[in-house]
Amino acid sequence: MANQDLNPNDYREPVGLSGLIDVQQLAQILQVPRSWVYQRTRLGPGAIPHVKLGKYVRFNAQEVIAFFRAKGNDGNNGTNHVS
């Protein structure tokens, strides 16, 4: 997916969740597998923006999209392999 296809305004925050979404919802927005999202939370300083709530991981979709736009690539850390 090209970066210009990601539009943070396409995502509307659910009422009552303060804009936090789960892995499944982020995977659907980005059109990637859940495993890809989980992998990107474990990259240390290069990880996608997320919040850990115990064993749960939550995201702000607009922050994640802005992160990938600022990064200027497809999110694979410069590699061309598919996870």
Q: Distances in Å between the alpha carbon of 42 and those of 6, 8, 31, 39, 45?
A: 22, 23, 19, 5, 9
Residue pair 62/23 in contact by the 8 Å Cβ criterion = no
Six-digit token pair at 48? 């996608």
Instruction: Give the tens place of pLDDT for each residue, 4-54.
Output: 566 656 655 554 446 899 999 999 998 999 999 999 999 988 999 999 999
Q: Are 21 and 14 in contact (CB under 8 A)?
A: yes
- Look at the pTM and tell me if it is higher than 0.85: no
